[in-house]
A and B are shown apart, each in its own frame.
Chain A
């Protein structure tokens, strides 16, 4: 496993991702119908981080990142993405592609795949899309590669994040 080169990036969503563009109010909550529903939601933890993004914008960012990664690493790329549900809407086609797996916690899969695939890219964000989601609007990007010459591509990839008002931490 010593031949795996790991590139890491930790970023923060600094403000709304698409400046000067109107953003639809898409914060979703499951319909609540009876006393129990209200009592349950009243007791769920909630985040104190600002909500800077909606579902469409979140999926748009993930879509653009996946398309960019597919361009940069055209062969043998596997992408793992952390995602929370309910997602409120249909996922973009790029996220449903064969080389992408979406899951609640990517770590178990990273352990299994790192070193077995040429390029393993992980996108692990905690951008909160409504107040009940947990997180601090952070994003971690990692590349586990068997090819040691991937620093330039990785830098190009993380530069893309600046387009969405995401800055390095």
Chain B
């Protein structure tokens, strides 16, 4: 059994267009940080004070929202301050480099420096929001329709981590097939583990059908949600478990692949106590 337990997955869907007209970066981030903070509060308010004390870190992952930072239109200290005002356990570190695989690299970094033995909690949030309503993010030939949202995962670490987490990079430029092969190799030794894969258009699903024919996979929800970047495996688990309530512990391998070939895979346990929060869609249209 994995030493990584999913305590909560929350998903706040966002519309393609966030505002009726393009807003400044500052206004956009006020809006987004409010939603993120609300989501964090929804997750933490169900915890006891003792459990809340166990939350050691909160990483925010996103490559999509990095453009206003890159151009100097907004800075992380400003955004971090917007979050800080919202109370405890808000995100305070922004990981921008690893695209859809950023959640796994954040987790790896935390585990690298984590010296505790007692159970502890970690929050990872993923924001995919098309702040400037750019066509590139609406639809892209690599993944077709995009899906946008704010996702937060509360994980408990309650033992030594051995091979639960894989972070690596493709060595070829056919990263999709290489990714599927690495997933297959990793899943082979894991009994009763269901794959939660990224959502892709049909031609890529067909490749997974062939390369992962012997593995159990959750359904691809590209038709329902579009490609939701690093959130896909978590949305996949959330959607499945909301339809099929969890009555005993289950094992999933959450898998993400980034455009530039970075992979993250985490074997996680979902229990009957795991909370799933699907929020109402926000945004303009």
Contacts and interface: CB of A to CB of B under 8 A. Distances in A.
Contact of B22 (A40, A87, A134): A40
B31 interface: no
Contacts of A107: 77
B48 interface: no
B174 to A, nearest CB: 13
Contacts of B113: 78, 113, 116-117
A interface residue count range (under 10 / 10 to 19 / 20 to 34 / 35 or more): 35 or more
A108 B69 contact: no
Contact of A45 (B71, B92, B95): B71
Given A40-B22, A86-B63, A87-B97, A45 B72 contact: yes
A103 B70 contact: no
Nearest to B136: A30
B93 interface: yes
Contact of A103 (B71, B75, B94, B167): B94
Nearest to B56: A112
Interface string B78-116: 001000000000001111111000000100110011000
Interface string A106-140: 01110011001100000000000000111100000
A105 interface: yes
User: B interface, how many residues as a size bin?
Assistant: 35 or more
Interface in A33-88: 33-34, 36-37, 39-40, 44-47, 78, 83-87
Contacts of B167: 96
Contact of A44 (B71, B75, B93, B94): B71
A93 B76 CA distance: 26
B169 A90 contact: yes
A85 B93 contact: no
A104 interface: yes
A144 B77 CA distance: 21
Contacts of A109: 93
A112 B262 CA distance: 26
A158 to B, nearest CB: 24
Contact of A105 (B63, B75, B260): B75
A89 to B, nearest CB: 7
A128 to B, nearest CB: 10
A84 B70 contact: yes
A105 B60 CA distance: 12
A47 B73 CA distance: 11
Given A36-B22, A86-B66, A46 B71 contact: yes
B72 A134 contact: yes
A2 B70 CA distance: 35
Interface in B115-131: none
Interface string B257-285: 00011100000000000000000000000
A32 B138 CA distance: 12
A169 interface: no
B134 A40 contact: yes
B260 A91 contact: yes
A105 B77 contact: yes
A98 interface: yes
A102 interface: yes
B143 interface: no
Given A45-B72, A90-B261, A37 B134 contact: yes
26 contacts: A30-B136, A31-B135, A33-B135, A33-B136, A36-B135, A37-B134, A40-B132, A40-B133, A46-B71, A78-B112, A84-B96, A85-B70, A85-B97, A87-B97, A90-B260, A90-B261, A91-B169, A91-B262, A102-B95, A103-B94, A104-B76, A104-B95, A105-B94, A108-B80, A108-B92, A133-B71
Interface of B: 22, 63, 66-73, 75-77, 80, 92-98, 105, 108-109, 112-113, 132-136, 167-169, 260-262
Given A40-B22, A40-B133, A96-B98, 7 more contacts: A33-B136, A36-B132, A39-B22, A85-B96, A102-B96, A104-B69, A133-B70
